[in-house]
Structure 1
Amino acid sequence: MQTLQRNQLVWLTDDGWQQVLAGNWDAQAQSILRHWHTGQLPLVVCTQRVQNTAATVSLGLPAPNPWNRRKLALEVPCHALLRAGVFPTVAQVAMQCVQSGWQPLIDLLEDLHRTAAVYGSFGWQFLTGLDYVRPTSDLDISVPVPDHAAAATLTQALADLHLPLRLDGELVFPDGSAMAWREYGQWMRGAVDRVLVKSRSGVQLMDADMLAALDPGCMV
């Protein structure tokens, strides 16, 4: 299996599920996990909780509204992973949302030649068919960017966009480092001097020099 990045989807083997279900879970957690196993639903790769090991992978399971949006943390051996995948695109999710009003975002991404994945409530509802979205739910998108120039252009365009719901999410650089696009915009404007950057290996605050290292060909 390819090298996994944070926020990537994975599916478990049946043996992997049996190992997970054998854990010391309470009744609600057992109910959630049994539903995920029966439906062969995906889990999401998280920031690694066990450092310096290639034998296991840290996964998350954000349950839907009927289970009080409970979040489960799992640690599974790499050999328990069946396959990997990605969250759906904005266009895919918009097709399932009646009068979503997302067309301006779809057009913007096409104009900038960017592909955005939808995670969060809208992404999980699309993947599972379960009840995640609430009236106050944000639209969380993850957008790969090749460099700071593309990140800056996209951030400004997203800030100028008008949608019927709040747009949130992350910019993802080629090495998998991700940061909130709104926070990146604050850094661009000089409102903050550091940005919180997440990856599978950890979380850290990066200053201008550290951010520049994500894009060696660009001076920031």
Structure 2
Amino acid sequence: MTEFRRHTLVWLSQAPGAETEDDRARAARWHEAGRPFVVTRRRSDAREVGLGFCTTDPAHPKLRPRRVAARTDPDDIVRHARPPALAEIARCPAAMAETNSFSRLIAAAAAVGVTINVYGSWMWQALTGERHVHAASDLDVVIDVADLDAALRTAAFLARAEQDLAFRIDGELSFPGVGEVQWRELLQDKDEILLKSVDTLKLVPRSQIGR
């Protein structure tokens, strides 16, 4: 089986499992609508892939969207993709109010050769057209980096770029084959960093990140 990274979008051949009857029904409706699920940390030692998705309540649109955990057999995954690129997010209707900020960030990233993908509320907003973003929403980014030096440069770039934006940048730097770390943590003087992957959640020595 292919080992998918966290934040990977997957489409399934059949609806995934979930813990409760209500969540199984939500997952079935989500799947029937042709929507992707996102790969999360595996919740057991089983072969199943951990999934998540985020639903809104049409009858109560102002309620906070509900995050739902699900799981699937890897053989049921028929397609996968990385989260949407920043430019795709910038084209969704909700981003029109923040056009200047998105344009600045896209230009700044291109100038330094950083490829930004987006997950979280902005991703769900762009993919579904439903209300996931609100005035205080962060932009959750995931950026691939090759090693610790590249991660530090990218984290410093995000800290600079954020100063010119109308929203806060949250998110992670992804070391392919290793896992993800919060970019803000890298800018703190800590000996250990929290590393997340589909299989692990652990503190690792800072010097070992990306090796």
Query: TM exceeds 0.5?
Result: yes
The equivalent residue for 1:60 is: 52
| 1:20 aligns to 2:17 (yes or no) | yes
> Aligned-pair distance for 1:59?
0.9
> What's the TM-score once normalised by structure 2's chain length?
0.86
| 1:72 aligns to 2:68 (yes or no) | yes
Q: Distance in 2 between matches of 1:64 and 1:157?
A: 34
2:187 counterpart SS class: helix
Q: Distance in 1 between matches of 2:204 and 2:197?
A: 12
RMSD over aligned Cα, in angstroms? 2.0
Unmatched segments (≥5 aa) in structure 1: 216-220
**Number of residue equivalences:** 201
Q: How does 1:70-149 map to 2 (within 5 A)?
A: 70-96=66-92, 97-100=95-98, 101-149=101-149
Per-residue CA deviations over 1:144-182 (Å, capped at 9, x if unaligned) read 011122111111121112210011111111224101111
Amino acid at match of 1:71: R
Contact 2:191-2:205 at 8 Å conserved across structures: yes
The equivalent residue for 2:33 is: 39
Per-residue CA deviations over 1:83-123 (Å, capped at 9, x if unaligned) read 11121111111122114221221122112212111101001
Contact 2:121-2:133 at 8 Å conserved across structures: yes
Contact 2:151-2:173 at 8 Å conserved across structures: yes
Q: Distance in 2 between matches of 1:34 and 1:177?
A: 29
> What's the TM-score once normalised by structure 1's chain length?
0.83
Aligned residues: percent identity? 31
2:30 counterpart SS class: helix
Q: How does 1:125-204 map to 2 (within 5 A)?
A: 125-161=125-161, 162-186=164-188, 190=189, 192-204=190-202
Moved more, 59-68 or 153-162: 59-68
1:20 counterpart SS class: coil
Amino acid at match of 2:27: L
Q: Distance in 2 between matches of 1:128 and 1:2?
A: 27
Contact 1:141-1:170 at 8 Å conserved across structures: yes
Q: Distance in 2 between matches of 1:140 and 1:42?
A: 18
> Aligned-pair distance for 1:208?
2.6
2:21 counterpart SS class: coil
